[in-house]
Amino acid sequence: MSQITIEFPDKSKKQFSNGTTGMEIAKSISEGLAKAVVAMQLDGKLMDLLTPIEKSGKIKLLKDNDTEALEVLRHSTSHVLAEAVLSFYPKAKLAIGPSIKDGFYYDFDVSKPFTPEDLKKFEKKMLELIKKDEKFSRKELTKKEALKMFKDNKYKVELIKELPDKEKITIYSDGKFTDLCAGPHVPSTGRIKALKLLKTAGAYWRGNEKNKMLQRIYGISFPEKKQLQNYLTQIEEAKKRDHVKLGKELDLFSVQKEAPGFPFIHPNGFGLWESLQRFIVDELLKRDYKFIRTPLILNKELWVKSGHWDHYKENMYFTKLDEEEFAVKPMNCPGCVLYYNTKRRSYRELPLRIAELGLVHRHERSGVLHGTFRVRKFTQDDAHIFCTPEQIESEVLDLIELVDFIFKAVGFEKYTVELSTKPEKAMGSEKIWNISTKALENALKKSKLDYKINEGDGAFYGPKIDFHVIDSLGRPWQLSTIQVDMSMPEKLGAYYIGEDDKKHVPVMIHRAIFGSLERFIGILTEHYAGAFPTWLAPIQAIILNVNSRNEKFAKKAKQQLLNEGIRADLDLRSESIGKKVRDAQLQKIPYMLTVGDKEEKSNTVTIRNRNGKLSKPVKIENFVKTIKKEIFSKNKNLTSF
RNA sequence: GCCUCGGUGGCUUAGUGGUAUAGCACUGCAUUGGUAAUGCAGAGGUCGCGGGUUCAACUCCCGCUCGAGGCUCCA
């Protein structure tokens, strides 16, 4: 028998006979390792420990908590789920059951949807199966054999038929259950120490709405019980921060049945909105942007010329005015180009940076709406930069720095960056796409940021860079985007006169930093769990009077704060001071200023901050001075007076 | 759009084939207080909308509407 050479991560090498398995290798090192190992990587490819190794290579044995090992564990759990479901519903047809980012799922074709009671039964059964610690075994079949074996299951047959004729098809068994599967799997079901079935949902076969809808069960599993506990706690924490819930509790916004998907921003939401808006406007003006306002409704012809009619009309709202067709703008760019075209432009004006806080309307399908995250009307902090192809790189580099600055100011320290390239449904020549993609890449390299490439994920008019912030629970949110567009200016007849006294088409860079103000407010709400830093807080300070004798003084104090531009409120109710503090605390107001007889006499306030820190009486002017400094510096920590 | 689940005063919610429960919020009265809930009283609901079954529907059935989660991760 021939020999193969296996290299370990520490670079040591060892000879084994051809066809040896990962489990045998693990055992050859130690029994302890053999017990802990879940799967392995051979030259970077994930494999289980049962597959014969038929070539030399680098091996990495994966233990419980390696990310890759978790995937294997969860995929194996999906098999256990399938086995449990079949024990109650023998006629259920299995579709697919992969591991996903947070757990796993399995799709079933059953006559009736599963009930919550079903899930409980399945979970109980799964725990029994795990206790049996059944070994997973692997078998190779030819395509013909596989088709015969799964002839009663049209989903598996469809999958098998799509595989190349010569491909080795594998099946995996644990106990009496066998499934078509590429693997890999954990050595035995006992490796799954904790699991939970989370929810059921309808899901189309292969994600295509023309196909039959199957019943999907989502679940999660871990190699340790404690990890499941932590995971469930984190779900609870995320629920508490849900911006729809907090939006109601803090009275930030509402969505009403008269306007599905069109949120109302309430006074508290506006406080937050206005701070963000003022911040972004100030910063852009410093960077030589000019602001414009363009109409919401524009003639259909414009959208035909811009290409939106061809690529986007199913998401647009239309209306007829004086026998002419108009569209409500789903994007700000064509309007911005119309502004650009109002004058003859010289190369000396470029780069020309035009910003608009533009309200756009997009007809999203009813099932995808969610709070202020996914809506039908929203305000983009949009800007379009008209420049020459040579200027793209430096403009994009400036933008990358701007995005970094803004993210850190609002409290997002961590973010990821992605470059998206030409999609299938695209406009413009190959050459144009290459030039613009290259410019984005160069800027990213100069910025020294790590980035990932998403092939085919660009906009229909050009490639783009996307930024995803990571919030306080570690969840990613796509916010900023920088898109190069070498098509639309030409379509809409934009040009500038070059040094050569000839007409040239400018490049247009579309960019947004918050993306949508509505959505951004939602994300910030979840990030801060509603306890915003003072500069963003909807109400920055509330005055609480101790008794009715102090009413006049309290009103005067509130007016003093309002005069200084501080968002102040007043609670004059005939309630105890404890009650007023409690209510202000639940509203997560940064500063509570108590005024009683003592304070009135000395023209002071007693300050309690949201963290419970209580001060000695402080002159109102001193409070104003300090809080204004805190707001101006966008400090994330509250002051203890 | 499709699948599952849901809609009970402003909010959170109990409940049943015989027009409904509580807390918070609101209003009034008393209390004039010192940093996370003062007490008493009152008012407030066509039980999402429309239709059907029934002597009787908030409850059962059908349609609609609004909301939540999922429909992207590939044997």
Residue-wise pLDDT tens digits, A47-99: 788 778 888 888 888 877 677 788 888 988 999 999 988 888 888 888 888 88
A513 and A433 within one domain: yes
Determine if strand B comes within 7 Å of the CB of A143.
no
Average pLDDT over residues A199-223: 85
Nucleotide nearest to A143 (CA to C1'): B75
- Our measurement of CA A195 to C1' B24, in angstroms, reads 38
A167 and A190 within one domain: yes
Chain A window 64-123: residues with CB closer than 7 Å to nucleic chain B are 96-101, 113, 115
- Our measurement of CA A235 to C1' B23, in angstroms, reads 27
Nucleotide nearest to A615 (CA to C1'): B35
* Distance of alpha carbon A528 from alpha carbon A212, whole angstroms: 41
Tens digit of each residue's pLDDT (9 = 90 or more) over A225-249: 888 888 888 888 888 888 989 999 9
Q: Which two tokens stand for residue A486?
A: 């070498």
Distance, C-alpha A155 to centroid of its chain: 32
Considering only CA atoms, name the residue closest to the C1' of nucleotide B69. Answer: A201
Positions of A annotated as catalytic residues are 333, 362, 380, 382, 384, 464, 510
- Our measurement of CA A620 to C1' B5, in angstroms, reads 53
**For chain A, what is the largest distance between any 2 Cα atoms, rounded to a whole number of angstroms?**
99
Residue A166 pLDDT > 80, yes or no? no
- Our measurement of CA A385 to C1' B13, in angstroms, reads 53
Residue A402 pLDDT > 70, yes or no? yes
Determine if strand B comes within 7 Å of the CB of A602.
no
Query: How many CB atoms are closer than 10 A to CB A623?
Result: 24
Instruction: Check if the beta carbon of residue A14 is closer than 8 Å to that of residue A43.
Output: no
Chain A window 207-246: residues with CB closer than 7 Å to nucleic chain B are 207-209, 213, 215-216, 244
A523 and A416 within one domain: yes
Is residue A58, in this structure, part of any structural domain at all? yes
Average pLDDT over residues A553-570: 96
Question: A39, A63, A87: which is the final residue of a domain?
Answer: A63
Of the two residues A164 and A284, the one the predictor is more confident about is A284
Nucleotide nearest to A551 (CA to C1'): B32
- pLDDT, position A165: 76
Query: How many CB atoms are closer than 10 A to CB A161?
Result: 10
Is residue A304, in this structure, part of any structural domain at all? no
- pLDDT, position A295: 95
Global pTM reads 0.86
- pLDDT, position A307: 84
Nucleotide nearest to A600 (CA to C1'): B34
Is residue A320, in this structure, part of any structural domain at all? no
Determine if strand B comes within 7 Å of the CB of A530.
no
Q: 């930030």: which residue's tokens? A: A252
A590 and A479 within one domain: no
Instruction: Check if the beta carbon of residue A75 is closer than 8 Å to that of residue A98.
Output: yes
- Our measurement of CA A251 to C1' B43, in angstroms, reads 24
A194 and A101 within one domain: yes
Is residue A312, in this structure, part of any structural domain at all? no
Q: 């879940």: which residue's tokens? A: A38
Nucleotide nearest to A550 (CA to C1'): B32
- Our measurement of CA A213 to C1' B52, in angstroms, reads 30
Chain A window 241-270: residues with CB closer than 7 Å to nucleic chain B are 244, 248, 255, 257, 260-261
* Distance of alpha carbon A146 from alpha carbon A161, whole angstroms: 10
A550 and A442 within one domain: no
Residue A556 pLDDT > 80, yes or no? yes
Nucleotide nearest to A201 (CA to C1'): B70
pLDDT classification of A565: cutoffs 50, 70, 90: very high
* Distance of alpha carbon A601 from alpha carbon A546, whole angstroms: 13
Among the ranges given (A32-41, A299-308, A500-509, A550-559), the one the predictor scored with the smallest mean pLDDT: A32-41
Query: Angle CA(A145)–CA(A188)–CA(A219) in degrees, nearest 5?
Result: 90
A578 and A516 within one domain: no
Tens digit of each residue's pLDDT (9 = 90 or more) over A436-483: 899 999 999 999 999 988 888 787 778 999 999 988 878 888 899 999
For position A197, which CATH number holds? 3.30.980.10
Is residue A232, in this structure, part of any structural domain at all? yes
Domains in chain A, number? 4
For position A607, which CATH number holds? 3.40.50.800
For position A47, which CATH number holds? 3.10.20.30
Considering only CA atoms, name the residue closest to the C1' of nucleotide B71. Answer: A203
Instruction: Check if the beta carbon of residue A558 is closer than 8 Å to that of residue A583.
Output: no
Nucleotide nearest to A141 (CA to C1'): B75
pLDDT classification of A157: cutoffs 50, 70, 90: confident
A477 and A552 within one domain: no
* Distance of alpha carbon A208 from alpha carbon A137, whole angstroms: 33
Determine if strand B comes within 7 Å of the CB of A367.
yes
- Our measurement of CA A422 to C1' B71, in angstroms, reads 26
Determine if strand B comes within 7 Å of the CB of A529.
no
Is residue A81, in this structure, part of any structural domain at all? yes
Considering only CA atoms, name the residue closest to the C1' of nucleotide B75. Answer: A181
pLDDT classification of A121: cutoffs 50, 70, 90: confident
Average pLDDT over residues A352-368: 90
Residue ranges making up the domain that contains A57: 3-63
DSSP, res A333:
H
Question: A63, A95, A113: which is the final residue of a domain?
Answer: A63
**Mean pLDDT across chain A:** 89
Query: Of the candidates A579, A634, A640, which has an alpha carbon nearest to the alpha carbon of residue A612?
Result: A640
Is residue A416, in this structure, part of any structural domain at all? yes
A218 and A104 within one domain: yes
- Our measurement of CA A74 to C1' B47, in angstroms, reads 44
Chain A window 369-388: residues with CB closer than 7 Å to nucleic chain B are 369-371
Instruction: Check if the beta carbon of residue A487 is closer than 8 Å to that of residue A307.
Output: yes
A625 and A593 within one domain: yes
Query: How many CB atoms are closer than 10 A to CB A624?
Result: 17
Residue A416 pLDDT > 60, yes or no? yes
A471 and A382 within one domain: yes
Determine if strand B comes within 7 Å of the CB of A174.
no
Question: A30, A63, A96: which is the final residue of a domain?
Answer: A63
> Ramachandran region of residue A313, left (φ > 0), alpha (ψ -120 to 50) or beta?
alpha
- Our measurement of CA A579 to C1' B22, in angstroms, reads 21
User: In 3-state terms, chain A is what percent helix, strand and coil (to 5)?
Assistant: 40, 30, 30
Determine if strand B comes within 7 Å of the CB of A167.
yes
Determine if strand B comes within 7 Å of the CB of A363.
no
> Strand B: which bases are under 7 Å from protein Cβ?
1-5, 7, 11-12, 25-26, 29-38, 65-75
A158 and A94 within one domain: yes
A379 DSSP β-pair partners: A359
* Distance of alpha carbon A409 from alpha carbon A218, whole angstroms: 38
- pLDDT, position A1: 57
Is residue A328, in this structure, part of any structural domain at all? no
Q: Are strands A57-63 and A3-7 parallel, antiparallel or unpaired?
A: parallel
- Which three-class secondary structure state does DSSP give residue A96? coil
